[in-house]
């Protein structure tokens, strides 16, 4: 790896003879394959970005010139060329190299986005700021994918960028025809036509006042570099349309049809064999349940925002393609479109990552809930997600969704409950319903010993001292904590409320019969389940102390789900330790994190 080892900054790259670019790019690809094979990560997108990123750092002088990556998971090559090769051993781990741009890591990382379609707005703002401050020698470059251009925010940005033709801004369109799956929509067809006839002009961009250069072979360093230098000389908003191949240079990733190499776990670099999971994931179970329900209920339709496979709608789509709608990376449109489907009598299921639904808060509130529409939202990656870090942790949904009138949130503790609660959600005719579950492998089921007014009682000792109310899959940790507490002479009843919002009346009444109730949730404490239960219990006048174990109101870093939960006191030992302290204290300052 002689060439790559000698590059510790973009200046080193610019000193390298261009005749060796091909050799360098081959080294970069070999490095990425072996590094990601050991940690997992976004391999396919970065293999397609090699020559393009080399050309960017030859033409622009980061960090004086601003390079903005949208989406941030395509910045691995950028990290290598800015001196972070030695840190790839800790990629996407606690205290290690982030899988996205990170301002704490390097001055070359300007924004930390991993949600798509934002970079053009950042670029518009920064270009305006440079113009106002007289920084005319600083250039602004936004690298966007064709998938990101399906998002409404990108279109809003283009509308404003094109309105100021005198303001320089370079938009590099990395067009590989895919996000997770082939890119959908009218703009995708337009870009495809331009790629097949490279001499054509883009009426779409030029009608907005944005110059168009392309289509350029994104795997030809010299061609990309020439196009970028031409764009700079034009001193106006310019789109440089580069055609690339996702997974380029590594056959298993290059021939990937279902994008399992987009974000891959550990694998054998020599054979391309991906490590087999030891148990089905929550998403796998949801995918099977949706296929069964779709066959039973013809009114059920699925909606995804460019993530059919990651959210588990692929089996449904394969069997009933006309009933699953991929709307691109446009979550607000997905939710508003679901409102239209529900208004017309269908039963839409919007499957989406928890953190991404926040982009459509207004539509959930004003387009779905205001109209009392029976839309079902299935939130994958709820709670702590793990290696993708702060932008992907779904630790806010229980707080903000509880603000929506008429909306109910279910949190299954195991996969058996997932199926039952999904059916309950689809049977509800009045108002929206949410089903939330985490990323990762589903653990063993937890059987209820009885059900009281909709609450599942999981453990019921004869003379209980404390009530543990567990949200979703944290029921398992609470059961283990109860066993630890019993060894210390403290008996705990464990209940699963099943529905986390609104707080069940039956749980409020039950909590009032205990001296101490402790809630456990993988959501922030502020506005979460525990805080709401405490308020409800206090309103009854009961003397119960309510304490909640939750996550801090902060941006959590990357790391394994179990490790992060343990670090924040949400593993069995941590729960037992806190409960034991509260039961032996005369008074409490319990509250929520």
Report the distance separating Cα 117 and Cα 139, nearest Å: 20
Report the distance separating Cα 359 and Cα 74, nearest Å: 21
The H or E element containing residue 519 is strand 516-524
Among 246, 436, 459, 578, the active-site one is 246
The answer on whether 174 is annotated among ligand-binding residues is no
Report the distance separating Cα 500 and Cα 433, nearest Å: 11
Q: Are 426 and 557 in contact (CB under 8 A)?
A: no
Among this protein's residues, is 246 annotated catalytic?
A: yes
Task: Output the CA torsion sign for 91, 95, 100, 105.
Answer: negative
Among 359, 408, 439, 459, the active-site one is 359
Angle at 44 between CA 202 and CA 393, to 5 degrees: 100
The answer on whether 424 is annotated among ligand-binding residues is no
Q: Are 335 and 306 in contact (CB under 8 A)?
A: no
Alpha helices (H) along 16-141: 21-39, 43-47, 50-59, 76-81, 119-133
Give the number of C-alpha atoms closer than 13 A to the C-alpha of residue 314, restricted to the C-beta side. Answer: 16
Q: How far is CA 99 from the centre of its chain?
A: 12
The answer on whether 525 is annotated among ligand-binding residues is no
Token pair listed for 438? 């985490």
- Collect all residues with Cβ–Cβ distance below 8 Å to 565 and sequence separation of at least 6: 384, 474, 477, 522, 571
The answer on whether 353 is annotated among ligand-binding residues is no
Other beta carbons less than 10 A from residue 22's beta carbon: 14
E strands, 401-454, where? 408-410, 433-436, 450-452
348: left (phi over 0), alpha (psi -120 to 50) or beta: beta
Among 27, 51, 225, 331, the active-site one is 331
The answer on whether 115 is annotated among ligand-binding residues is yes
Enter the DSSP assignment of 416.
H
Q: How far is CA 1 from CA 36, 42, 57, 349, 447, in A?
A: 16, 21, 19, 49, 55
The answer on whether 136 is annotated among ligand-binding residues is no
The answer on whether 26 is annotated among ligand-binding residues is no
The answer on whether 148 is annotated among ligand-binding residues is yes
Binding site membership: which residues?
73, 114-116, 146-148, 176, 250, 331
Binding site membership for Mg(2+): which residues?
146, 176
* Catalytic positions: 246, 331, 359
Binding site membership for thiamine diphosphate: which residues?
73, 114-116, 147-148, 176, 250, 331
């Amino acid at each position: 790896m002689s060439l790559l080892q000698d590059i510790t900054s973009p200046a080193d790259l610019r000193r390298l003879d261009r005749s060796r670019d091909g050799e360098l790019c081959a080294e970069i690809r070999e490095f990425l394959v072996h590094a990601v094979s050991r940690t997992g990560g976004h391999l396919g997108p970065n293999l397609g970005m090699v020559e393009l990123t080399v050309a960017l750092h030859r033409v622009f002088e980061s960090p004086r010139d601003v390079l903005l990556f949208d989406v941030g998971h395509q910045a691995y090559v950028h990290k290598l060329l800015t001196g972070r090769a030695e840190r790839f051993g800790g990629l996407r781990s606690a205290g290690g190299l982030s899988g996205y741009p990170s301002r704490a890591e390097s001055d070359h990382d300007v924004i930390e986005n991993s949600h798509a379609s934002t970079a053009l707005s950042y670029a518009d703002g920064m270009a305006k700021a440079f113009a106002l401050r007289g920084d005319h020698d600083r250039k602004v470059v936004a690298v966007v994918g064709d998938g990101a251009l399906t998002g409404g925010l990108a279109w809003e940005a283009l509308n404003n960028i094109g309105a100021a033709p005198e303001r320089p801004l370079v938009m590099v369109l990395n067009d590989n025809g895919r996000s997770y799956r082939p890119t959908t929509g009218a703009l995708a067809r337009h870009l495809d036509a331009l790629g097949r006839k490279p001499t054509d002009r883009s009426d779409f961009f030029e009608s907005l006042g944005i110059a168009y250069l392309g289509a350029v072979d994104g795997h030809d360093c010299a061609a990309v570099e020439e196009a970028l230098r031409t764009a700079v000389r034009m001193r106006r908003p310019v789109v440089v349309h580069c055609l690339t191949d996702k997974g380029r240079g590594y056959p298993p990733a290059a021939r990937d049809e279902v994008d399992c190499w987009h974000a891959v776990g550990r694998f054998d670099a020599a054979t391309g064999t991906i490590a087999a999971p030891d148990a089905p994931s929550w998403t796998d179970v949801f995918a099977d349940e949706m296929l069964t329900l779709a066959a039973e209920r013809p009114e059920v339709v699925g909606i995804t925002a460019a993530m059919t496979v990651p959210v588990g709608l692929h089996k449904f789509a394969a069997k009933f393609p006309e009933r699953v709608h991929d709307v691109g990376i446009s979550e607000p449109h997905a939710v508003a479109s679901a409102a239209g489907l529900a208004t017309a009598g269908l039963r839409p299921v919007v499957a989406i990552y928890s953190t991404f639904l926040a982009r459509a808060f207004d539509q959930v509130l004003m387009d779905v809930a205001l109209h009392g529409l029976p839309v079902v939202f299935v939130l994958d990656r709820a709670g702590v997600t793990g290696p993708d870090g702060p932008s992907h942790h779904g630790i806010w949904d229980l707080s903000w969704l509880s603000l929506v009138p008429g909306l109910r949130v279910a949190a299954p503790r195991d996969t058996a409950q997932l199926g039952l609660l999904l059916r309950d959600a689809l049977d509800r005719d009045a108002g929206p319903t949410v089903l939330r579950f985490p990323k990762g492998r589903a653990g063993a089921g937890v059987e209820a010993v009885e059900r009281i007014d909709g609450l599942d009682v999981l453990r019921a000792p004869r003379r209980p001292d404390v009530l543990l109310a567990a949200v979703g899959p944290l029921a398992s940790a609470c059961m283990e904590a109860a066993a630890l507490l019993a060894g210390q002479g403290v008996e705990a009843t464990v209940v699963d409320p099943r529905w986390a919002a609104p707080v069940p009346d039956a749980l409020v009444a039950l909590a009032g019969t205990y001296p101490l109730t402790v809630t456990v949730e993988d959501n922030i404490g502020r506005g979460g389940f525990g805080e709401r239960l405490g308020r409800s219990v206090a309103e009854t006048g009961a003397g119960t102390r309510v304490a909640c174990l939750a996550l801090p109101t902060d941006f959590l870093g990357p790391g394994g789900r179990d490790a992060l939960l343990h670090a924040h006191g949400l593993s069995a030992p941590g729960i037992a330790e806190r409960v034991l302290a509260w039961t032996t204290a005369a008074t409490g300052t319990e509250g929520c994190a």
